[in-house]
A and B are shown apart, each in its own frame.
Chain A
Amino acid sequence: MDDLLTEFLTETNESLEVVDNELVRFEREPDNAQILDNVFRLVHTIKGTCGFLGLPRLEMLAHAGETLMGTYRDGAKVTDDGVSTILESIDQIKDILAELEETQQEPEGSDDELINRLLILAGVVEDKNNPVAEEKVEDLKAGKDEQEEAKEEAKQEETPQVKEATGGGTLGRELKPGEVSLEDLEAAFQNAQGPDLSPPKEAKKQTPAPTKKAKGEASLANQSIRVNVQTIEDLMTMVSELVLTRNQLLEISRRYEGNHEESEFATPLQRLSNVTAELQEGVMKTRMQPIGNAWGKLPRIVRDLSVELGKPIDLDMVGAETELDRQVLELIRDPLTHMVRNSADHGIEMPDERQKANKSKTGTIRLSAYHEGGHIIISIADDGKGLPTQKLKEKLLTQGLASEAEIASMSDNQIQKYIFHPGFSTAEKVTSVSGRGVGMDVVRTNIELIGGSIDLKSKEGFGTTVTIKIPLTLAIIPALIIETAGERFAIPQLAVSELVRVNMGSENRIEKIKDAEVLRLRNSLLPIVRLTNLLGIENKNPDKKIKSNSTFVVVAQVGTRSFGIIVDEVFHTEEIVVKPMSNMLKEVSMFSGTTIMGDGSVIMIVDPNGIAQAVGTTLESEASLEQDEAQAVKKDDGSISLLIFEAGSGDPKAVPLSLVTRLEEFDISTIERSGDRNMVQYRGRLMPLVYVNESGKQQKDGTFSLLVFAEGERVMGLVVDRIIDIVQDKLELQVDSNGDGFLGSAIISGQATEVLDVGYYLPLAFADWFERKEQVGPKTRKLLYAEDSPFFRNMIVPVLIGAGYDVTAVEDGIEAYDLVKSGEKYDIVVTDIEMPNMDGFTLTRCLSEDKNAANWPVIALSAFVGPASQKRADQLGMFDFIAKFDRKGLLDALKRTEGVIDVEVAA
């Protein structure tokens, strides 16, 4: 990209962020001329630079906004409407900039409507239907005056001149890049340096502002230089290497000391070590950014919410200058935004409620950040209604998350923490802002992913405080080095809360409840897992086993859950450099990375989250052995999590939650069109939208809810009207579907609910995903289905059940064959071809050699249908070979197998 343009984009984006926040401040302090001046100058600079670079559309828009601000500067009354419209124009400018960045071209389109509104508000244009059209010569002159006026920062200019200036702006589009007058150029040049140089001056003049941000940023800008992020990343990598080499040297030196030899390297090595540590810290600092950068958008968001919800809210930000690693900063931006939105939506009450409760009408959300021992602590506090413990208890009961006895034994705080539980929401109804019960769970997961933890304190009637603790950086972390089954591993220190040495004879001993191992630790019972079992490794060294009446337990805490990990040996804590795992090992969720030790060997870094997940199910059942039987039974008889939503008619619709990758909400304005399809930008790529209710396309404003389905690279968004709830129930289709897109109806939570046929919608987004299918008459026959991809299993099994088969689904050929060998009988076998351990072809061959199974028809499903595999299928005597996405073909083939069997029975 053009250097000039890049510079312009970076600068303008920064300026706009300042403008955003200043405007929100300005709305509250309309008399503060200084804020207005600041905003005015920033917008003016943008306008000037646009003209210089030949970006007429941006220039016109900025100009119109500037005109309206000009009238305020001249003493016109500041209205909410006015500020909203200016903010809107700033948003529009941002959108254009985003596109400019992508295509390097100013996008086509017209902002006449917005410009017109701005001008009407400014009082320059009276009639909507008649945008200003004045003579060109005068306009040019007016434009020049306008520039000069701004340059002198003269506030006493008369209104008439502003009026004239507007004409210049509207006709600005006729100025081709080459036609920019000399005066304009000069003005643009002089203004181009604006954002870097002038804000500090301005900021220093200011009286202490409620947000410290502007000031902090300004003083930084004074003596900072721009460095490419990649340069810093490279430096960081080099320093990491240096740290490793130093560790290696230290290791060697330790060996000398071990032999009681005096090494002449000892002293210089010590110095090298110190310098390295300092260098590491220094480079780390360059990656640091004030957390205020992640907060930048919040004042605006809170302001918009406060208007939308009709609640006056103050956002108080403390410690914006607290620094943390930019990588971490990026990762917490979204969770923070989400939580602030939550506070505004659920936490703060309506003004009249607040008055009744003897609180000030205006609610306060207080965001603060500070450092504490290698961590940054961020807290989000509101003075709203707090979490209703009683309601939470009821919800816990109805959702079957806890039994009455359990609830009785829990503290209020424990109950409140359930809001981090997946699928739990306190909001009685889902609002456009939040309440889907997916948010807080996602927030927790995101925070934990970066090795952080989240805590919550709430007092009913007085407000809620959420505290997040995250590490300052992810690149170099302290880790505990342990050994198990002769292999060394690193466990991030952050997750380790203590180490316990366990002796058979002592009071710290491991006891068993059935197969579950537990440890009495002070007042609690700690569930225990063995690392060897989790990692599927065996102790190669039998000598160790004899000693194993004394072992170490690493007590780890992930989120609110504690558990003990049994290891053979604990060595020491070391600062390790985290190296990402190669793509080939990404699937191994037990490890988060690798590192090189002082002796040059590579060891794996255990991911505490991965372990927590892997043991989660076992632990939960172990920890709550006395959990009520009824629920366990309920879980066993095939009840699944279902997402209930509304689309089209008012009847509830359902889809298995396991099929849904995420729930999202987008603003209508983010929809982009490509051909006749609607898309949104989602995580850096375009996601096609499919509408359950076609009339949803007509919606013009507001937000819409999305169910995101993803398989591999492909992502699709299904637009629904409203997400209602997540329930646990059995999915039993009782009535066949009479319309496209639904599998049929089932009773869910006591209500007739239509069950969505995801397979119908997927090909609407990607023609090659699947093909639609139709129901087949029911007849209970036993079907064995082998498929390794959980997505397809989830997809195909409901179809097969829907078609009336009694389905047993297994994960690979071996499992399927084992079932057959164990004497299980099936009528039909459906198998995927590409599977680990034993593929579909091998399975078919094995089955044909089995005396029981030799006659069973085998239908192969494969993502790749080529002549070669087709031929192989024929050779093996497979009944049919069908593409995975061809569900109609599958059902047809199944129908045909009935014929085969009938004939055989008859014969």
Chain B
Amino acid sequence: MSKDNLTNNNAQQYVTIRLGGQLFGLPIDRVQDVFMPENFTFVPLAHQKIAGVLNLRGRILTAIDLSKVFDVGAVNDTNSERPAVNVIYGNESYVFLTDIIGEVVTLNNDQLEANPVNLNSEWAKTCVGTYRLKNELLVILDIDVLIEELLSQDAA
């Protein structure tokens, strides 16, 4: 990619994460931190997609297991030793548990393609679109919708 493209207003940077075999992208301006969580506290009675709560530098954050959200097999069964990203949602902050965190990519907004019509409806709700990378497809997540979905499921 040329340097022009990087500074282009249409360009957006994404943190890539891998869940099962699928590559996902999170808008970088929403990602606060990438870290290896140490101690989870299990929350009884909470939604099963919630991995627990953890202490990140004095703040208590709720961790969401993205593998369970997208129903793709987790590499490890245990929650620890799985990399996590800390994302901002309004005034709150949540932690997404992933399988692998990859590099940051810069992509042009024009190349974002709509979800294929036959995409699983659960996925279609939370994915904004897809980029065709050289070797594979990158699915871009809508963090707001994803968290709102979970909040409403929880309330149900």
Contact = CB atoms under 8 A, between A and B. Distances in A.
Interface of A: 241, 244, 487, 535-537, 579, 582-588, 590-591, 594, 596, 600-604, 788-789, 834-836, 868, 872
10 contacts: A244-B58, A582-B60, A584-B50, A584-B62, A584-B150, A584-B154, A587-B154, A588-B44, A596-B55, A602-B39
B58 A585 contact: no
B156 interface: yes
A604 B55 CA distance: 12
B78 interface: no
B41 interface: yes
Contact of B41 (A587, A603, A835, A872): A603
Given A535-B45, A536-B45, A587-B154, A582 B92 contact: yes
Contacts of A487: 41-42, 44
Interface of B: 39, 41-47, 50, 53-55, 58, 60-62, 64, 92, 94, 121, 147, 150-156
Given A535-B45, A594-B60, A600-B55, A584 B156 contact: no
A602 B58 contact: no
A604 B61 CA distance: 12
The 6 closest A-B pairs by CB, nearest first: A535-B44, A582-B62, A602-B41, A537-B44, A602-B55, A594-B60
A604 B40 CA distance: 12
Nearest to A531: B44
A746 B150 CA distance: 42
Contacts of B50: 584-585
Contacts of A241: 58
B94 A584 contact: yes
A600 B155 CA distance: 30
Contact of B58 (A590, A596, A868): A596
Contacts of B156: 788-789, 834-836
A509 to B, nearest CB: 27
Contact of A536 (B44, B55, B151): B44
A356 B42 CA distance: 65
Contacts of A596: 55, 58, 60
B151 A584 contact: yes
Contact of B44 (A583, A590, A835): A590
Nearest to A600: B55
Contact of A604 (B43, B94, B155): B43
A565 to B, nearest CB: 14
B42 to A, nearest CB: 6
Contacts of A872: 121
A238 to B, nearest CB: 11
B121 A602 contact: no
A590 B61 contact: no
Contacts of B64: 584
Contact of B43 (A244, A579, A583, A588): A588
A835 B152 CA distance: 10
Contact of B46 (A588, A602, A836): A588
Contacts of A588: 43-46
A794 to B, nearest CB: 15
Contacts of A586: 154
Contacts of A579: 60
Contacts of B62: 582, 584-585
B54 A602 contact: yes
A836 B39 contact: no
A587 B54 CA distance: 18
Nearest to A594: B60
Contacts of B41: 487, 594, 601-604
Contact of B121 (A591, A836, A868): A868
Given A584-B62, A585-B50, A604-B41, 15 more contacts: A537-B42, A579-B60, A582-B53, A582-B60, A582-B92, A584-B50, A584-B94, A584-B147, A584-B150, A585-B62, A594-B53, A596-B55, A602-B39, A602-B60, A835-B156
A536 B50 CA distance: 15
A590 B45 contact: yes
A868 B62 CA distance: 32
B61 A582 contact: yes
B145 to A, nearest CB: 14
A579 B59 CA distance: 9
A582 B46 CA distance: 12
Nearest to A596: B55
B54 to A, nearest CB: 6
Given A596-B55, A789-B156, A835-B156, A585 B43 contact: yes
A296 B131 CA distance: 64
A631 B90 CA distance: 51
B151 A583 contact: yes
